[in-house]
A and B are shown apart, each in its own frame.
Chain A
């Protein structure tokens, strides 16, 4: 669920851009110090492309259809690079498909990037404690989704009291999507652990 242009107030948008740009700068700088960027750039880009294509798939629930966000999965697979990857994905989505908005790229980046980072840290922590990766994946996928929903609701409420009812509706609408994303993320994690476990950033630092 992205926010479109024209909904949020000026201070919320500016705050969104400020947090998004700051976090991106820190993450990219950290990545530059630890890795060879010439190798990281194509890698992250192609993975972002894969997630972009996956997020175009619509699942129909009853009369409506939802498209996947895969916030949690992005975090679990890409680690902290999920945040800049999300920025790139959202920019392309706003310009190529007119999903979401242009002025709201910053706030959307925060709204979906921060849950992705949390999902990554939780997955790593859980894995090091010896939890079952499939269950962890399901949980992180669901968590990523519902956190995005809660952030979205908070932003709507800070924008103005006209949005209070819509904000509650948004959180409720995220619940079915949360279940769907949880099942999908769990199944992806199980599959990847079986086929190519070195793909997940569990042993190495990202």
Chain B
């Protein structure tokens, strides 16, 4: 199993890496929401190109980014095959009574482009900041502390449990177990899962005690200090501006 290391390239240097994490989260989130609700395919395409431009500026390795963006494309690709057949509209092609509609094709591409733009932006947002600093920025943005702490601990323990799970999985495979979709395979897998749950439950006790011993009281303390510079204000204003402009432009376009 692979580790979900999203911030593997956070130590690089680029204008996006230097962008204040709080401003980054706010402006990128606005951009994501703005691009996702575009209804015009040309504007959606511009949004996607803009996201890709930011990806180039951020100098993240393209292989790393594309591997993750690709996932969304594969996930949504079936729409491109199904929607032209199911959506009614202008017919481009008629194969023995099955009509392929142009509107369906456009609609499916619109969905895919919007999703790709959103995922590219989300990837850049997280990949250019160390995860602990993102968490600190979330506190600074007044996201409820309980949720932020849960996010932080869950992220941290995903790595631990991945190791534990891989160990158990390897030992099962050594004994000849293969996961197949039959009753035997699934009920054995259920036992592995039950064991992981019990192990994790036991771990929670030890983790809690060691955290309390180190002074944990349920309230977060972090050592990172953030401050906004003029550059951050300019960059975030530009991004928010683009997020709003896209929708104003769309209104003018349709009226």
Residues of chain A having any CB pair with chain B under 8 Å: 4-7, 10, 24, 28, 32, 36-39, 41-50, 52-54, 56-57, 59-61, 70, 73, 77, 84-85, 87-89, 91-92, 94-99, 101-103, 162, 164-166, 169, 176, 180, 183-192, 195-196, 199
Least distance between A99 CB and chain B CB atoms (Å): 7
Least distance between A133 CB and chain B CB atoms (Å): 12
Chain B interface mostly: helix
Given contacts A53-B196, A162-B86, A192-B194, contact A101 B149 (CB under 8 A): no
CB of B71 within 8 Å of the partner chain: yes
Cross-chain contact A42 with B72 (CB below 8 angstroms): no
CB of B238 within 8 Å of the partner chain: no
User: Complex Cα distance A94/B86, Å?
Assistant: 29
CB of B177 within 8 Å of the partner chain: no
**Which residues of chain A are near B201, meaning CB under 8 Å?**
43, 46-47, 196, 199
User: Complex Cα distance A91/B151, Å?
Assistant: 8
Residue in B194, B200, B216 whose CB lies within 8 Å of A38: B216
Residue in B113, B119, B161, B200 whose CB lies within 8 Å of A98: B119
Residue in A38, A47, A97, A180 whose CB lies within 8 Å of B217: A38
Residue in B82, B153, B156 whose CB lies within 8 Å of A41: B153
Least distance between B90 CB and chain A CB atoms (Å): 14
Cross-chain contact B190 with A188 (CB below 8 angstroms): yes
Given contacts A92-B151, A98-B69, A103-B32, contact A7 B157 (CB under 8 A): no
CB of B211 within 8 Å of the partner chain: yes
CB of B112 within 8 Å of the partner chain: yes
- Please give me the 10 A-B residue pairs with the lowest Cβ-Cβ distance, nearest first: A187-B190, A6-B114, A45-B153, A38-B218, A191-B194, A49-B157, A96-B4, A5-B118, A187-B187, A50-B200
Residues of chain B having any CB pair with chain A under 8 Å: 1, 4, 6, 29, 32-33, 36-37, 68-69, 71-72, 75-76, 79, 82-83, 86-87, 104, 107, 110-115, 118-119, 122-123, 126, 144, 146-147, 149-158, 160-162, 165, 179-181, 183, 186-191, 193-198, 200-201, 203-204, 207-208, 211-212, 216-218
How many pairs of residues, A versus B, come closer than 8 Å at their CB atoms? 219
**Which residues of chain B are near A52, meaning CB under 8 Å?**
154, 158, 161
Give A2's nearest chain B residue, CB to CB. B75
Residue in A39, A183, A187 whose CB lies within 8 Å of B194: A187
5 A-B residue pairs with CB within 8 Å: A42-B207, A50-B161, A96-B4, A162-B83, A183-B187
**Which residues of chain A are near B82, meaning CB under 8 Å?**
165-166, 169
Cross-chain contact A166 with B72 (CB below 8 angstroms): no
Cross-chain contact B32 with A102 (CB below 8 angstroms): yes
User: Complex Cα distance A46/B204, Å?
Assistant: 6
Given contacts A98-B68, A98-B69, A102-B118, contact A184 B186 (CB under 8 A): yes
Least distance between A85 CB and chain B CB atoms (Å): 8
**Which residues of chain A are near B179, meaning CB under 8 Å?**
57, 59-60
**Which residues of chain B are near A103, meaning CB under 8 Å?**
32-33, 36, 118
- Apart from A6-B110, A103-B36, A184-B193: 11 A-B pairs, beta carbons within 8 A: A6-B114, A42-B204, A45-B153, A47-B201, A50-B157, A50-B200, A98-B123, A101-B119, A180-B181, A183-B186, A190-B190
**Which residues of chain A are near B114, meaning CB under 8 Å?**
5-6
Least distance between A47 CB and chain B CB atoms (Å): 6
**Which residues of chain B are near A91, meaning CB under 8 Å?**
151
User: Complex Cα distance A98/B111, Å?
Assistant: 16
Cross-chain contact A101 with B193 (CB below 8 angstroms): no
**Which residues of chain A are near B119, meaning CB under 8 Å?**
5, 98, 101-102
**Which residues of chain A are near B211, meaning CB under 8 Å?**
42
Give A50's nearest chain B residue, CB to CB. B200
Least distance between B178 CB and chain A CB atoms (Å): 10
Given contacts A46-B153, A191-B194, A192-B197, contact A41 B122 (CB under 8 A): no
**Which residues of chain A are near B212, meaning CB under 8 Å?**
38
Cross-chain contact A180 with B86 (CB below 8 angstroms): no
User: Complex Cα distance A88/B158, Å?
Assistant: 12
Give B82's nearest chain A residue, CB to CB. A166
User: Complex Cα distance A50/B195, Å?
Assistant: 10
Cross-chain contact A53 with B118 (CB below 8 angstroms): no
Cross-chain contact A56 with B1 (CB below 8 angstroms): yes
User: Complex Cα distance A44/B147, Å?
Assistant: 11
